[in-house]
Amino acid sequence: MRHVPINPAVFLTHRQQLTALLPPQSLVIVHAADLLPTSGDGTLRLHPASDLFWLTGIEQEESVLVLAPDAIDPAQREMLFIRQPNELLTTWEGHKLSKDQARELSGVAKIRWLADLPGVLHALMCESERIYLNANEHERASTEVESRDLRMARGIVARYPLHRYERLQPLLRQLRAVKNTTEVELLRRAVAITDGGLRRVLSVLQPGVMEYELEAELIGEFTRKRGRMAYEPIIAGGKNACVLHYNDNDQPCRDGDLVLIDVGASYANYAADLTRTYPVNGTFSPRQRAVYEAVLRVLEHSIARTTAGTLLRDWKRAAQLEMNEELVQLGLLTPEQVAKDTPEEPACRKYFMHGLGHSLGLGVHDLAPPNGPLAPGWVVTVEPGIYIPEEGIGIRLENDILVTEAGPVDLCADVPIQPDEIEQMMAQ
């Protein structure tokens, strides 16, 4: 575990929130993520399952959480199953959690070895009426690779076909969207680590530097601060910035171009997500500055509209209408084109073709109700952009915003974004 331990009271609260939503005689089963294969006998580094981590703080493969709030035996109402350490496992894979360590991390009192799961689960199935099984139901998820949760669900349904099965994801989607104070502080830490990386980039950015050299500066800073990359970073110089998911990061940054950097640190599995666009030679050209300031105005006004009760489709639509006017001022759209604008075919789509933002937390695109409404405790990104391939200009700016009763709080307020400030920092 690279990060500082998290108070297990956070996970206890999360489990209590979930069980409060369950009907009587319910059983919940949540699995760890798989170790994904590469080639031969290789595997990727384990990426902890977000749902299991949110409920337990556990980051070890093959772990299983079982919740049965109305179980006859009080000791079976909350159980965590983990791999049993042994000498061979320690030699080849390293340290595995003891029962005491798992108890300390998760706050789950009853820790059992994984070998006990089939027998215990059978007894609970016999006394439960509703079985809540988990799956990755994010609207943008790729489901080509079957998750461990879904694979185990198939086995349970085959063995116990007459039970009533329910989806766990709708409950977790509702709960995980709202971050508590500890989660917000972890996100602030991730943002601060990202800020440090971006400042290192500014200190070395100059004509001729390679995109991957900037990526190396980010990786080094994140690692020193106990973080990791939350996702594959985008380091896109010149026309590469017009490719929304560009991540080759293998080209030189050229004099007179801009470089778009979309990056976020992950700290304790909580992800930051920021985008900044910098002039490679330290000075925006008049045209670059005009486009940059247009994007910045839409960003600032969109942040101001990130308020409790706002529906996400209305939030996005307001940004599109504002962007239409900015594009007219930049000479990219005509008033006649804007007059034909509709929600289905926004006039700005040619130059601003993506969404305005998304929920942020355990993962870059965190679970949340797809249309909101925004509520206190939500953390969302705000990321307008303008992309002009024919001019080799792609500008996106992105901050992470906490929704509160008193209005939006910009978690990235200390990350330089004003064009004058960026030029001054690069000149120094």
Residue 364 CA, distance from chain mean position? 2
Could you say which of 138, 396, 400, 410 is catalytic? 396
Contacts 24+ apart (CB under 8 A), 320-325: 320/346, 320/348, 320/352, 322/297, 322/298, 323/298, 323/348, 323/351, 323/352, 323/384, 323/386, 324/348
DSSP secondary structure code for residue 359 in this structure: B
Kindly report the backbone phi and psi dihedral angles of residue 9, in degrees, each rounded to the nearest multiple of 5, phi listed first: -60, -30
Q: How many C-beta atoms lie closer than 10 Å to residue 205's C-beta?
A: 23
358 is catalytic: yes
Integer Cα distance of 280 and 205 in angstroms = 6
367 within 8 A of 174, measured Cβ to Cβ:
no
245 is catalytic: yes
31 is catalytic: no
What does DSSP say about strands 274-279 and 270-271: parallel, antiparallel, or unpaired? unpaired
- DSSP, residue by residue, 134-147: -----TT---SSPP
Could you say which of 149, 195, 215, 262 is catalytic? 262
Could you say which of 215, 257, 383, 410 is catalytic? 383
Could you say which of 112, 387, 400, 410 is catalytic? 387
235 within 8 A of 250, measured Cβ to Cβ:
no
354 is catalytic: yes
262 is catalytic: yes
Could you say which of 144, 245, 336, 405 is catalytic? 245
Could you say which of 41, 87, 100, 390 is catalytic? 41
Residue 113 CA, distance from chain mean position? 31
99 within 8 A of 142, measured Cβ to Cβ:
no
3 is catalytic: no
Could you say which of 273, 322, 326, 410 is catalytic? 273
231 is catalytic: no
Q: In 3-state terms, what secondary structure has residue 209?
A: coil
113 within 8 A of 82, measured Cβ to Cβ:
yes
410 is catalytic: no
Could you say which of 366, 398, 400, 410 is catalytic? 398
398 is catalytic: yes
Among 285, 287, 246, CA closest to 263: 246
Could you say which of 130, 226, 254, 354 is catalytic? 354
Could you say which of 213, 325, 365, 423 is catalytic? 365
Read off the tokens for 230: 């939350």
Which residues are tagged catalytic?
41, 245, 262, 273, 354, 358, 365, 383, 387, 396, 398
